[in-house]
Amino acid sequence: MISIVIPTLNAAATLPATITALQAGRDSGLVGEILVIDGGSTDRTMAVAEAVGAKVLHSAPGRGGQLQRGAVAAKGEWFLFLHGDTILAKDWLFAVENFISDEGNRNRAAAFRFALDDPDPKARRLEKIVAWRCTTFGLPYGDQGLLISRPFYGRVGGYRDLPLMEDVDLVRRIGRRRLAILAVAATTSAKRYRQGGYGLRPARNLLCLSLYFLRVPPKYLVKLYK
């Protein structure tokens, strides 16, 4: 059984599509529960989550802590962590079933292919850059989801309660050789790129990542990231 963990903060506008895309997994019985870990939303996020059959848990704001809280509460033998504005393509269930049916993958993890909901050619270029980053460095971000078995998640130490870079922190401990990128699109809202710019926003993300690798504490990177 898979437990799907979704951290949210004011995600009422995007959460219905995220959860609706998971319905095939619920119908098949593979997905046993969907946990929405809310960090103090002031919109209708919690009501929306409950309306589509998710279980809502409360947490202090901060995606790292929310993901950590969800993993502790989850009951499945596999975890699938998703952002509240990420929509998996229709063939996600087949790819996930294939991955978890391989016994060797109990000591590996998987993420999905990054995609944006924007027809702009700049979005396609960014998708190619992300694909290169994932192939070369084994660094998918949280908006690509993360599929991992409960035992392996425990062995690598799981998510840490970080204000930023909680996804990079975990995949670095997993390691590139133990991480697969599934050929299934995880389509994420391009809102932050449309607002921040397809040049400036990735440059800012890269700066934050570089400073993190230089061991600047994530708490000092939050303001720069936002």
3-state SS assignment for residue 111: strand
147: in domain = yes
- What pairing do the DSSP bridges indicate for beta strands 2-8 and 109-116? unpaired
What CATH number is given to the structural domain containing 44? 3.90.550.10
Model confidence band, residue 212 (pLDDT cutoffs 50, 70, 90): confident
198: in domain = no
Closest CA to 54 of 46, 63, 44, 62: 46
Q: Which tokens hold the place of 199? A: 């040049």
222: in domain = no
pLDDT beyond 90 at 115: yes
Quote the mean pLDDT of the chain. Answer: 94
Number of domains in the chain: 1
Domain enclosing residue 10, as ranges: 2-189
Q: What is the pLDDT of residue 218?
A: 86
DSSP 179-226: EEEEEEEEEE--HHHHHH-TTHHHHHHHHHHHHHHTT--HHHHHHHH-
209: in domain = no
Q: What is the pLDDT of residue 196?
A: 86
175: in domain = yes
Q: What is the pLDDT of residue 181?
A: 97
> Distance between CA 99 and CA 32 in Å, rounded?
17
